[in-house]
A and B are shown apart, each in its own frame.
Chain A
Amino acid sequence: MKPRPDFGELSLTRPLAPEMLAQCSAGPARTLEDYQQAMALRAAVYMSEQDCPYEEEYDGNDFSCTHMLVKDGSRPAGTCRVRWFADFAKIERSTIIPAYRGTPALRVLMAETCEVISRKGYRVALAQIQTRLWPVWSRVFRCRVVTGRAHFAFSDFDYCEMEIPIAPHPEALTIRADPLQVIRPEGDWDQPGVLDRSATRPASASEAA
């Protein structure tokens, strides 16, 4: 059973109720299928609902980030992507399709996203939010608007910057983490992966060289 995001949920305004995690599950996109689902969700919300031009929505950063996906059973309900910088993670393209707004999908997605960010050792996440949506986001995250910075606009909306403190994870992955743990699938660092299993085969360096 997937462990609950005990550290990621600390970035939310209130803890996740057990039934929320029973209804929805979220994690990093690991397959082409997951990736396509994330892109489809964003097309539905940003291109259709918000009339965002295709080239602005798919801006050249989708192959350099971690996509997160929240599902209700097998049905994709929402997504976001995280880009990684030196000392902060940036949460972008947060999307919940209309049928899942007002459900636990958003909170589960964000808790799991912050769990991954926390486990990677980051202490703060940044999000550029549409200024009109601050009342919504401030009810989701324990966060603050970054002060002393000018608001800015792109893709026809006014934006401001929101800073989300991330809980320090006691098992954050460091440069001295177990080498096999580091190469496990993103977000699934506590389960032996396919490469752990491969390690039972005898090494044959001379043949591989």
Chain B
Amino acid sequence: MNVIRIDYAGLTRRAGEFGFRRASYDELQSGLLLAEHLTEQVMATPESITWIDGLTGMAGWVTGDPVDGVFITVPLSPEGVAAVRDGSFAPAWPSLSHLACEGDECGGVYIGVYAGVTKEARRRVMMAAGVTRVEFFAPVPCFARGATEDGKRSMASLGFQPVEGGLSDLWGQDPLPVQKEQAA
């Protein structure tokens, strides 16, 4: 299984170029409320995302002031990738061993939430998700759940495919080809 070391500073800088910043607790509350409203799905609590974010150094991202877009991305340990595939990963309350804590090797990424209120916010979310995936996490697989038909269409457009045997409605994207100069 491929593993990577995450470039946290680079990720923050690049996400910032699309208007995203690491979310405070209050911003996460707003962002998750917004995502629940848009998707009509129950989200993880802001407390739980705060816990994950504190450990991984990269989970909760928002855009807009007031918040009009949210993006939750969880770096997984190799054990976490296996758990996503076998259905034992609990997105709202993950085991510590399933997370790639800050500085640990990362074996994959689980995108928990991506939602934007306006067309512009949705564009920023999709751009940030797509670009950071390619530039920072290409060598490892990426997972997300197709909570809505709209979400499934978005994932399909990014090259995700349904994954059998794991969490319900699980979609995944294999590692992406990495150019030699990137891999060096």
| A residues whose Cβ falls under 8 Å from a Cβ of B | 6-7, 10, 13-15, 123, 142-144, 165, 167-168, 170
Contact = CB atoms under 8 A, between A and B. Distances in A.
A170 B51 contact: no
A14 B54 contact: no
Contact of B26 (A165, A168, A170): A170
B50 interface: yes
B134 interface: no
B93 A167 contact: no
Contact of B54 (A13, A15, A168): A168
B176 to A, nearest CB: 31
A75 to B, nearest CB: 30
Contacts of B96: 142-144, 165
Interface string B80-97: 000000000000010111
A168 B56 CA distance: 12
Given A7-B47, A170-B25, A170-B26, A165 B93 contact: no
A142 B54 contact: no
B95 A142 contact: yes
Given A7-B47, A123-B54, A170 B24 contact: yes
A15 B51 CA distance: 13
A15 B26 CA distance: 21
A10 B51 contact: yes
A17 to B, nearest CB: 13
Interface of B: 24-26, 45, 47-48, 50-51, 54-55, 93, 95-97
Contacts of A144: 96-97
B95 A167 contact: no
Contacts of B47: 6-7, 10, 167
Contact of B93 (A15, A123, A143, A170): A15
Nearest to A170: B25
Nearest to B24: A170
17 contacts: A6-B45, A7-B47, A7-B51, A10-B50, A14-B93, A142-B96, A143-B96, A144-B97, A165-B51, A165-B54, A165-B55, A165-B96, A167-B50, A167-B51, A168-B25, A168-B50, A170-B50
B97 A167 contact: no
A81 to B, nearest CB: 24
Q: Which of B45, B93, B95, B96 has the most CB of A within 10 A?
A: B96
Nearest to A8: B47
Q: Which of B25, B45, B51, B54 has the most CB of A within 10 A?
A: B51
A113 B50 CA distance: 18
Contacts of B45: 6
A123 B50 CA distance: 12
A142 B54 CA distance: 14
